[in-house]
Chain A
Amino acid sequence: MAISKIPSAGFQDNVKFRNIIINGDMSIAQRGTSASSLTGGANSYDTCDRWIFTRSYAGTWTQSQSTDVPTGQGFAKSLKMDCTTADASLFTGDYLKINQLIEGQNLQYLKKGTANAESMAVSFWVKSNKTGTYICEILDNDNSRSISKSYTISSASTWEKKIIDIPADTTGALDNDNNTSLLLTFWLAGGTDYTSGTLQTDWGSLTSSKRAVGQVNLADNTANEWYITGVQLEAGTTASDFEFLPVDVNQQRCFRYYYRINADHNYQKYAHGFATSTTLQYMFCNFPVEMRAAPSTLDLNTLSLYTIWDGVSTRTVSSISYDASGKFFTSLAVVGSGYIDTRSGILQSSGNTSTYIGWGAEL
C-alpha cells in the first residue's frame, strides 16, 4: 500500500517522547493513592509521581490518585485535590500549587535563550466544581524568568480540555544539567503577594505580584475539589494528542526520581548484606535505573515491621540509615541486636505487607 501523504498533525503525533512532562497521565503513584491532612507550609510528593504539592497556609487538603477521568479519552487516572478545611481569607503570602520540576538536560532542544528558541504548548484535562479563572505558569529557575497564562473552568464538575500556547523565549539559556530548570505550575490559590499586579502573559523577569493574577481561591470552601490529567508540555505552536507511554516505560522514568519497593508478600526482601558486629549490619541494594542523583531521602514504615533474617533466625531492627548512597546502588546501615559478626543476612518484612523502602532523588 502506498502512502501518498502524511498529515502534518499525524507526523507530529508520531514524534516519540515529545511530552516533556513525566507521568502526565497520573498513572504512577509509588507513594500511595491517597494522602490526607496536607496543610501548613510545606512541599511534598504525596501520590502521583513527579507532582509536587507546594503550599503555604491555605487550608487543609487530601490528595489522591483518582479514577475520575474524562470519558473516552484513554485516561485511567487523574490527580485529585480535595479541600477538607477551608481558608476563605488568604494572607498575602499564602498559596497552593501543583508543580512538576524539569531537569535542564531534558530541555536543551527548546533552545531557550537563543534566536532559534522554540515555542511550547501546554495541554491538559481539568475539572472542578469551582468555576472561574485559574493560572498555569512556566518558571525558568535558571534565569528567574516566568510566564503565566490564565484558563477558565467554565462548567462546574465537567471535564474540559485546555490548551495554552507559550511563546519562545530568546532570553535566558537553560543549564544543561540534572537540576531544576523549568517548573510547570498549576496555581490553585494565591494571596495578594502573587495577585496584585498585572498577569505576566509573556516571558519576563520573575515578579511575584504578576504570577497568579485572577486566580480563584480553591481553598475557600470544603466542597471544593480539582482534578487534572493528561498534562502535556511540548515544543511547537500546536498541542498534539496526549502521548500515552507503556506503563513500564512510564514507571522507569519515574524511578529516576523516586524508587520504592512496596511489600507484595509477607516477607518481602529489600536488601542483603552482612553483619560487622552484634548490633550492626550493612545492607546493599541496586536500583533498576540510574537515579537522577545519589538519593538523599529514604522512606520507611515503622521499624518494628522490618527484620533481619540471617538464615538461622530473625533479628530485630531498631534503626536504618544510609551508609552510602550512589546513583546505581545504596548501602544501608541497619542497627539492631543479636547479629552474628560476619554472618550474611537479608533485610525483609517481618510477616506483613505494610513495609516499603523508598529512595528519593527528586528535584
Chain B
Amino acid sequence: MMYKLLNKGREESLECILRINDNDTLTVIVCNEEVPEYQEYLKWLEEGNTPLPADGGTVIDNGGTE
C-alpha cells in the first residue's frame, strides 16, 4: 500500500489523498480527520512514511464561476 498526493481541480475542490492498494486498485480519501481512512493515512505518516508527490501544480484550474 502506498499513498499519493492529489491535485485539487480548483481552489474550492475538496482536498484528497490517493491510496494505492496492494492489488493496484485505488481509493480517493477526503482529507478530513473524522474519516477513518484519513486517520489511517495520518498514522502512516506518523510512522515515518512519505507519500508519492502529486502530478504537477497544486491547483490545476479555477473552474470558472458556478
- Give the dominant DSSP class at A's interface: strand
Nearest residue (CB) in A for B37 is A297
List, in ascending order, chain A residues with CB within 8 A of B35's CB. 296-297
B36 on interface, CB distance cutoff 8 Å: yes
Once the chains are docked, how many angstroms separate the CA of A152 from the CA of B30? 42
Are B13 and A303 interface neighbours, CB within 8 A?
no
Q: Which of A279, A296, A318 is close to B29, meaning CB atoms less than 8 Å apart?
A: A296
B contact residues, total (Cβ < 8 Å): 29
A296 to B29, CA, bound (A): 6
Q: How far apart sit A299 and B29, CA to CA, in the bound complex (Å)?
A: 9
Is the beta-carbon distance between A319 and B55 smaller than 8 angstroms?
A: yes
Q: Are the CB atoms of B9 and A280 closer together than 8 Å?
A: yes
- Determine if A43 is an interface residue (Cβ-Cβ < 8 Å): yes
Q: A296-B32, A301-B26, A303-B26 are in contact. Are A324 and B61 (CB under 8 A)?
A: no
Q: How distant is A51 from chain B, measured CB to nearest CB, in Å?
A: 15
Determine if A33 is an interface residue (Cβ-Cβ < 8 Å). Answer: no
Report yes or no: A277 in contact with B61, Cβ–Cβ below 8 A.
Answer: yes
| Contact A276 B64, beta carbon cutoff 8 Å | yes
Given A280-B61, A324-B14, A300-B8 contact (CB < 8 Å):
no
A322 touches B13 (CB 8 A): yes
- Hey, which chain A residues are within 8 Å of B25, CB to CB? 299-302
B52 CB within 8 Å of chain A: no
User: Does A37 sit at the interface, judged by CB under 8 A?
Assistant: yes
Instruction: Answer yes or no: A289 CB below 8 A from chain B CBs.
Output: no
On whether the beta carbons of A325 and B30 are closer than 8 Å, the reply is: yes
Q: Which residues of B lie under 8 Å from residue A42 when comparing CB positions?
A: 40
Query: In the complex where A297-B37, A333-B8, A335-B55 touch, is A320 in contact with B28 (Cβ < 8 A)?
Result: yes
Docked CA distance A323–B63 (Å): 10
In contact, B26 and A323 (Cβ under 8 angstroms): no
Find out whether the CB atom of A300 lies under 8 angstroms from the CB atom of B60.
Answer: no
19 CB < 8 A contacts A-B? A277-B61, A279-B61, A280-B9, A297-B28, A297-B30, A297-B35, A298-B29, A302-B25, A318-B55, A319-B18, A321-B8, A321-B18, A322-B13, A324-B14, A333-B7, A333-B10, A333-B13, A335-B7, A335-B55
In the complex, the answer to whether B8 meets A43 with C-beta atoms within 8 Å is no
